Amino acid sequence: MKLLLTRDTMKWFWDHYLSDPSEGAHPHASPLRAPDLSGLPPALLVTAEYDPLRDEGEFYAEKLRANGVPTVLTRYDGVNHGFMFWVGVVDKAGSAMNEACNWLRGVFTVRANGVRTGPTLSPGTLTHAPLSGHIGTQVPGIFGKVQVL
């Protein structure tokens, strides 16, 4: 199988992602370098069997869990990096996209008074609640409040 993401393309993207190569050591660019990941929000990590970043993504999921962050990890076998963009073309892309959307619905489910009614947030597990009835609700986000649409 030919990989779409190769070592050379990864280097190209990395070089364009940073303003200066020294930024690559900062945890904002390389979260695995962070000494402590506790306090981060719940995470869903989707990896692909034929992805040069697969092992790094799965190691990150392990580190999140070890730091008490509720984390769901799903590896999709038989696909490569970027497969989720091919919904309707790659069979497993639709399943992965549905998983991500359902996970987000659960994470962003809140009552109007701001009390979370969504997933049970214990490390490594999430159960989902429907989003209906919560449209327009403001929820905390990394850049302030996020509106559920």
Question: What distance in Å separates the CA atoms of residue 107 and residue 49, rounded to the nearest whole number?
Answer: 26
Rounded to two decimals, the pTM is 0.69
Per-residue pLDDT tens for 78-101? 999 999 999 999 999 999 999 999
pLDDT tens by residue, 117-149? 554 444 443 333 333 334 444 444 443 444 343
Evaluate whether 48 touches 21 at the Cβ level (below 8 Å): no
Strands (E), the chain: 43-50, 71-80, 138-141, 144-147
Q: pLDDT tier at 7 (50, 70, 90 boundaries)?
A: confident
CA–chain centroid gap for 51, Å, is: 15
